[in-house]
Amino acid sequence: MSVKQIPTGKNIDGEEVIAIELTNSKGTYVKIFNYGAIINKFVVKNAKGEMQDIVLGFDTFEEYLDPAYLTAYPYLGTIVGRYANRIKNGSFTIDDETYQLAQNAGTDTLHGGIVGFDKKVWDVIELGDDSQSFVTLQYESVDGEENFPGNLIIDLSFELTENDELILSYEAETDQATAINLTHHGYFNLAPNGGSIKDHKQQIFASNYLEQDDNYSVTGKLIPVAGTPLDFTKPKAIGHDWNEDEGYDQTFVLDKIYGDLSLATKTIEEESGLTLSVYTTEPVAHLYTAKYLSVKNGKGGKDYSSYGAFCVETQHHPNAVNVPAFPSTILRPEDLYTQTTIYKVSLNK
């Protein structure tokens, strides 16, 4: 096991951007930037014995700041906050106080607003050693940032285990009641040479999904997956039932006890022999098959396009701050926000 800090030579708003590399004894390694808590690399050994990077990203940090990339910004590998997914009409009310956020997705607020946690330099507050490969990052979101109330302090730890598990552990505290819904936006492709993920086999342990309006904002209605293209209760190719012009961009309500750490999704790729299993304490998983992905000169000079990756975004119900029937996303000063999500890689052959 090892942990390395690697300076990027880049400073943003006076804060140094650092890469942290986590490695286990098998040679599996994960590279994380403290800017946006970006997972830049997740390299594992596939069934052919080859070392394979299973996440999309860039070869250098500077490319994450390229204006062309930011124009059609897909949140490649970033943390998402203060509030993941969409808040309907960009507004919510807590204790009779209404807060209006920037409407950066039509009339709705997406992924925390104009400058979310994905564009912040996080402090490196703790590092592991030869016995435990982890890093803990911290960010303080001040009262009024993106018009969210309360000073919010977030700790996010990444730990790589000997079992090829990447464990993301979140904690957050606030001094004022606020809305919070955190997730990580990793783009995965398990095929050795990339390309479309339509032949990846997907399983989602969910009997219901959330209805969405025309702007992908959830309405509050749960719909059974049975008999629909959204039924992934048994493994099937992602492209088997999809509308190939739309793919999937849908939130699934997991069949689980609220708060328990349990298996949410499983994705299998035959050529590499890799399986990605996602475990989470969160109540929902959002499957996004990257319809809007359009990135030039990714790793190795590859262009990334629609359906070139999938995301499994574990979180609370989107727009829950406006839907009382959903589990609450209001954090109060006397409470502690916690979340654990595990990305486990294994061989299926």
| Cβ-contact 183, 315 below 8 angstroms | yes
* The pLDDT value given to residue 129: 87
* The pLDDT value given to residue 33: 98
pLDDT by residue (tens digit) across 204-250?
999 999 999 999 999 999 999 999 999 999 999 999 999 999 999 99
Map residue 263 onto helix, strand or coil.
strand
Q: Active-site residue 185, yes or no? A: yes
pLDDT by residue (tens digit) across 160-189?
999 999 999 999 999 999 999 999 999 999
pLDDT over 90, % of the chain:
97
* The pLDDT value given to residue 348: 86
Catalytic choice (21, 269, 313, 317): 313
Map residue 65 onto helix, strand or coil.
helix
| Domain residue ranges of the chain, discontinuous segments joined by + | 2-347
| Residue 5: pLDDT band with limits 50, 70, 90 | very high
pLDDT surpassing 80 at residue 41: yes
The chain-wide mean pLDDT, for the chain, equals 96
Catalytic choice (185, 200, 286, 316): 185
Q: For 61, how many CA atoms within 13 A lie in the half-sphere containing its CB?
A: 23
pLDDT surpassing 70 at residue 138: yes
Q: What is the pTM of this model?
A: 0.96
Does domain 2-347 fall under CATH 1.20.1260.10? My reply is no
pLDDT by residue (tens digit) across 119-137?
999 999 999 988 899 999 9
- With b for 16 or more beta-carbon neighbours within 10 A and e for fewer, the 252-277 pattern comes to bbbebeeeeeeebbbbbbeebbbbbb
Mean pLDDT to the nearest integer, 65-72? 95
- Give whole-number Cα distances, 30 to 21, 27, 37, in Å: 6, 10, 12
Give the whole-angstrom CA distance, residue 126 versus residue 112.
26
Q: Which of 62, 312, 341, 340 lies closest to 189 in space, CA to CA?
A: 312
pLDDT surpassing 70 at residue 93: yes
Q: Active-site residue 313, yes or no? A: yes
